[in-house]
Structure formats: C-alpha cells, structure tokens
Amino acid sequence: MATPKPESPYKGCLFFSANALARLLTGLAEEAFRPIGLGPSHAFLLLTVNRQPGIQPKDIAAIMELTASTVTRLVEKMEQQGYLRREATGRTTQVQPTDKSLALQPQLQAAWTTMFGKYSQLIGVEEARRLTQDSYRAARALME
C-alpha cells in the first residue's frame, strides 16, 4: 500500500493550488493530444479556427485568453505545418483552416473528450464541471 502524500503547508494559497492543478492538467492534456502529434495549445487553436473559419487573431486571443503575440506564434507554427493559412483583407487578417486541419477535427474533439474523461474519472464528473465553472469565473474576476 502506498504511503499517503503529506498535505502541503501551502494548500490554503490560491496561487500555489492553482499552479499545482495547472501542472497536473497540463500533463493530462499533453497525454490526450499526444496521439495527434500536437500540444494542447496548438490543438485548441485548431479547434477554435475550425469552428470559426476566417476568425481574426484578436478574436482568437480573446477566446483562448492569450496575448496577441502568443497567438501569432501559434498561428505561424500551424501555418508552417499546413494546418492554417492567413488571408489579408484590407487592414485585417483572417485565419482559415486548411483541409488538413478540418480533417483532424474528429481526432481533436476525441482528444478533448478523452482529457475531460480522465480528470472526471479522477475527481468525479460533477466536481469537474463545478471546478471548471468556478475556475473560469475566478479567472474572469481577476482579469478585471
């Protein structure tokens, strides 16, 4: 029988607890998306663009809660790999999925479902949903 892990003296600190949770969830996400050959950020970028072809980078940044420069780097990498293409229309840029990206959509969706299934199995479906809602609400409040 495994020895129980001692509780951290920092368990009451939101910063510490949120970062510990983020590291664990990152591991689960990387495991879920590994069979596709993409990291979680690239996978969620493709999910976003596949759902909204022609989306502008600023809107991707808002949806994914990333900086514009991070979105630019992610889009450039996916463009180099043939998943996305940028189209300039006047002063705006639109990001379009390629057929390669659209063909990957079922696998992307399945990996996302697998990730949800894994952490839901570990902490329970209702707890996973509640924690997701509470975390998102807290993040939004801290952004203001």
pLDDT at residue 39 in the model: 96
Structure tokens at 17: 């607890």
The pLDDT, as a whole number, for residue 1 is 64
Length of the chain: 144
What is the DSSP-derived secondary structure letter of residue 65? T
Burial 25-37 (b: 16+ CB within 10 A, else e): eeebbeebbeeee
Confidence (pLDDT) at 4:
80
Q: Which residue ranges in the chain fall short of pLDDT 70?
A: 1
CATH class of 28-143: mainly alpha
Under 8 Å between Cβ of 29 and 116: no
Could you report the per-residue pLDDT of 2-33, keeping only the tens digit for each? 788 888 899 899 999 999 999 999 999 999 99
